[in-house]
Chains A and B, each alone.
Chain A
Amino acid sequence: MSDPLELTEIPERTVTSAALPPDQRTPWHKVVHNDDVRRLFACVIGGFVLALMTGPEGDGINMLSGVDGALRFPHLGICLALTVGLWVLITVRHRFGERARTASARVSALPARLLPNAKFRGLALVALLALAIVYPAHLNGYWQSVLVQQVGIYVLLAIGLNVVVGYAGLLDLGYIAFFAIGAYSDAFWTGALPIHPPANLNPFWVIPIAIATAMLAGVILGVPTLRLRGDYLAIVTLGFGEIIQIVAINLQGVTGGAIGTGTIRHFALHVLGINYVWGLDPLPYYYLLLVFVVLALFAFHSLEHSRIGRAWAAIREDEIAAEASGINVLKYKVMAFAIGASTSGFAGTLVASQIRFFEPGDFTVQLSILILVLVIFGGMGSLPGAVVGAAVLEWLPQYLHVHPLFGFQQQDLYIYFGAILILMMIFRPEGLIPSRRRRIELGLAEHGIGTADAMTAGASPSEPAGLP
Chain B
Amino acid sequence: MCFTQNFWSLLISGLADGFLYALIALGYTLVYGVLQLINFAHSEVFMSGGFAGYFVLQATLGSHTTSGWGSVGYVALGIAAGAAGGGVVAFLLERVAYRPLRRRKAPRLAFLISAIGASYFLYNIAGKEFGHNALEIPAPFTNLPWFSIFGAPVQAYYVVIAIAAISMLLLVDRVVSSTKLGKGIRAVAQDAETASLMGVNINRIISQTFVLGGLLGGAAGFLFGLNAGVVYTMGFTPALKAFTAAVLGGIGNVRGAMLGGLVLGIAENLPMGCVQTAWRDVIAYGILAIVLLFRPTGILGERLGRAA
Contact = CB atoms under 8 A, between A and B. Distances in A.
Contacts of A322: none
B117 A425 contact: yes
A238 B240 contact: yes
Interface in B103-148: 103-114, 116-122, 124-125, 127-133, 135
Contacts of B125: 1, 52-53, 415
B296 A229 contact: yes
Interface residues of A, number: 80
A455 B192 contact: no
Contact of B35 (A59, A67, A372, A466): A466
B107 A451 contact: yes
Interface stretch (B12-20, B166-174, B277-285): B277-285
Interface of B: 34-38, 40, 55, 58-59, 89, 92-93, 95-97, 99-114, 116-122, 124-125, 127-133, 135, 188, 192-193, 196, 202, 206, 236, 240, 243-244, 247, 276, 278-279, 281-282, 285-286, 288-289, 292-293, 296-297, 302
A468 interface: yes
Interface in A383-414: 411-412, 414
B130 A58 contact: yes
Contact of B114 (A1, A234, A422): A422
B152 to A, nearest CB: 27
Interface stretch (A105-113, A178-186, A296-304, A440-448): A440-448
A242 B281 contact: yes
A452 B109 contact: yes
Contacts of A26: none
Residue with the highest number of chain B CB atoms closer than 10 Å, among A64, A455, A463 = A455
Contacts, number: 222
A331 to B, nearest CB: 19
Enumerate the 7 nearest inter-chain pairs by beta-carbon distance, A residue then B residue, closest first.
A421-B117, A418-B121, A60-B131, A418-B120, A453-B109, A425-B114, A239-B285
Contacts of A136: none
A466 B105 contact: yes
B103 A8 contact: yes
Contacts of B129: 52, 58, 64, 66-67, 70
Interface stretch (A120-128, A243-251, A263-271, A283-291): A243-251
12 contacts: A1-B121, A3-B96, A70-B129, A165-B109, A173-B116, A225-B289, A239-B285, A242-B281, A246-B278, A442-B107, A445-B105, A465-B107
Contacts of A8: 100, 103-104
A35 interface: no
Residue with the highest number of chain B CB atoms closer than 10 Å, among A366, A411, A422 = A422
Nearest to A241: B285
Given A60-B135, A235-B38, A459-B296, A418 B112 contact: no
Given A232-B296, A422-B117, A451-B107, A411 B289 contact: no
B292 A421 contact: no
B292 A232 contact: yes
A5 B100 contact: yes
B105 A425 contact: no
Given A3-B96, A8-B104, A236-B288, A425 B113 contact: yes
Given A415-B125, A422-B118, A445-B105, 5 more contacts: A2-B96, A61-B131, A63-B58, A417-B117, A421-B113
A53 B116 CA distance: 18
Contacts of B206: 467
Contact of B282 (A246, A442, A455): A246
A358 B206 CA distance: 45
A322 to B, nearest CB: 16
A466 B114 CA distance: 14
Nearest to A427: B100
Contacts of B89: 1
A77 interface: no
Contacts of B202: 467-468
Nearest to B295: A459
A1 B236 CA distance: 19
A250 B279 contact: yes
Contacts of B302: 460
A171 B250 CA distance: 22
Given A411-B127, A445-B107, A452-B107, A418 B118 contact: yes
A418 B122 contact: yes
A446 B104 contact: yes
A422 B121 contact: yes
B89 to A, nearest CB: 7
Contacts of B276: 250
A209 interface: no
Contacts of A442: 106-107
Contact of A468 (B110, B193, B244): B193
B96 A5 contact: yes
Interface string A255-267: 0000000000000
Interface in A138-186: 165, 169, 171, 173
Contact of B55 (A63, A230, A239, A429): A63
A64 B193 CA distance: 44
A429 B292 CA distance: 30
Interface string A1-29: 11101101000000000000000000000
Contacts of A63: 55, 58-59
A426 B130 contact: no
B121 A465 contact: no
A361 interface: no
Contacts of A103: none
Contact of B131 (A58, A369, A414): A58
B109 A169 contact: yes
